């Protein structure tokens, strides 16, 4: 799949030393915006997620669907920077890069001379983004951190799940994804800062910080009230009725956000008595009397099918929606219209599906230049183009296991 417009970050060179999800998600976004992203991977093994399957693309066990979700538009360069020659290659690439992204443990790259302080002396304009579980400082800084444990430690799991059930993680690694998005934002802000000052900088980003910051209204609910919010299943802590309701043949979402919508719902559902009840006149009162009101609405919702309710609620402009599985999601006409399901047309005539970037620019279009790379497929091309290495140089490096 090819698009002709230059991306907003065309001309920006990113050296990607990150693995798994948070860092690769950030660098994929930068690549979608037009940046050149050189992904550094260990020879032979590559990014851990290459093997996180099944499913595997074309049944190739270094090409897991998980890896493909976060690594399009990148070049794969296989370098062992545990060896001095490999370290030298990374330093030379960093000297020419605009951005470096890494997610090693705190201090993990210093022993290779690839930490920010070392590379800043080579390239003062370098924007160096470090992603860790807990940040570069503090009592937990040296600990490894993973999405699941951060969802737990950062409070999200205390808010997710049924009141009488287990604390529950989300179905997607949101701490990683959100950290990737914060990283992409921070990097672009640092690029703007460099544009005005000429100076690069170090970005210190942690999964725990992002998870806590992303608690949004729930964090403010706690800070204002002093009370820790509890698990409420699919209901909203601050709005009623705003939750999942059972119908005669399934479940739907009803998301009533103001008094006018509540009045329209009561008229539509033939329950004006609820609208006229003094206990339900405002959202604050409905929250205070949540249990009785939800029980009354639930009994009404059971009288019709999901599709009947959705048709009637949509006609009355009352926010609602079905609960789709992924097959239904990608079959949704709106999802199809917005082209969220896309594909790369591969040279052998096969196709690789992927989820498109949700950002729609009017001018600097998101670009999908090439599919996720095979391990090391760009090693020789990049080292020749960027560092001027000739074929013999690279043959020698390959023989010594420095590159793959």
Pairwise CA distance, residues 237 & 164, whole Å: 16
First to last CA, the chain: 27
Q: Which two tokens stand for residue 233?
A: 């299943």
Q: Give the distance between the most distant pair of CA atoms in the chain.
A: 85
Catalytic residue selected from 32, 176, 204, 378: 176
Q: Would you give the DSSP letter of residue 390?
A: -
What phi and psi, each to the nearest 5 degrees, are found at residue 98? -90, -35
Strands 74-78 and 99-102: unpaired
Distance CA 199, CA 191 (A): 9
Residue 264 CB neighbour total at 10 angstroms: 16
Neighbour order of strands in the sheet with 127-132: 74-78, 36-41, 13-17, 99-102, 127-132, 201-206
Tokens of 126: 């370098």
Q: Is 176 a catalytic residue?
A: yes
Catalytic residues: 176
């Amino acid at each position: 799949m090819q698009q002709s417009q230059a991306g907003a970050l065309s001309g920006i060179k990113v050296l990607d030393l990150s693995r798994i999800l948070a860092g690769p998600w950030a660098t994929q976004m930068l690549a979608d915006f037009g940046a050149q992203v050189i992904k550094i991977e260990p020879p032979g093994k590559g990014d851990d997620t290459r093997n996180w399957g099944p499913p595997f693309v074309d049944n190739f066990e270094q090409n897991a669907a998980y890896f493909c979700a976060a690594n399009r538009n990148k070049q794969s360069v296989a370098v062992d920077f545990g060896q001095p020659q490999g370290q030298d290659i990374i330093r030379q690439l960093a000297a020419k890069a605009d951005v470096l992204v890494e997610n090693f443990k705190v201090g993990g790259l210093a022993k290779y001379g690839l930490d920010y302080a070392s590379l800043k002396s080579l390239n003062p304009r370098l924007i160096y983004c470090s992603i860790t579980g807990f940040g570069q400082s503090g009592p937990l800084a040296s600990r490894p951190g993973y999405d699941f444990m951060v969802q737990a430690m950062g409070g999200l799991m205390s808010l997710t799940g049924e009141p009488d059930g287990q604390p529950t993680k989300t179905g997607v690694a949101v701490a990683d994804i959100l950290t990737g998005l914060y990283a992409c934002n921070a990097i672009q802000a640092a690029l703007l800062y460099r544009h005005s000052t000429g100076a690069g900088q170090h970005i210190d980003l942690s999964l725990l910080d992002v998870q806590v910051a992303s608690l949004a209204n729930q964090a403010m609910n706690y800070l204002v009230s002093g009370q820790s919010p509890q698990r409420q299943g699919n209901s909203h802590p601050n709005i009623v009725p705003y939750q999942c309701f059972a119908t005669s043949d399934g479940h739907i979402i009803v998301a009533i956000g103001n008094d006018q919508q509540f009045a329209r719902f009561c008229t539509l559902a033939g329950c004006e008595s609820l609208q006229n009840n003094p206990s339900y006149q405002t959202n604050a009162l409905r929250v205070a009397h949540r249990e009785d009101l939800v029980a009354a609405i639930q009994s009404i919702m059971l009288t019709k099918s999901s599709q009947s309710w959705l048709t009637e609620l949509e006609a009355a402009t009352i926010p609602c929606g079905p609960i789709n599985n992924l097959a239904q999601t990608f079959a949704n006409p709106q999802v199809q219209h917005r082209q969220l399901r896309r594909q790369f047309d591969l040279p052998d005539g096969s196709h690789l599906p992927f989820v498109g970037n949700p950002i729609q620019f009017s001018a600097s279009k998101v670009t999908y230049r090439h599919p996720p790379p095979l391990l090391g497929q760009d090693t020789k091309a990049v080292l020749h183009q960027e560092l001027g290495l000739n074929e013999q140089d690279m043959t020698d490096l390959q023989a010594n296991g420095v590159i793959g």
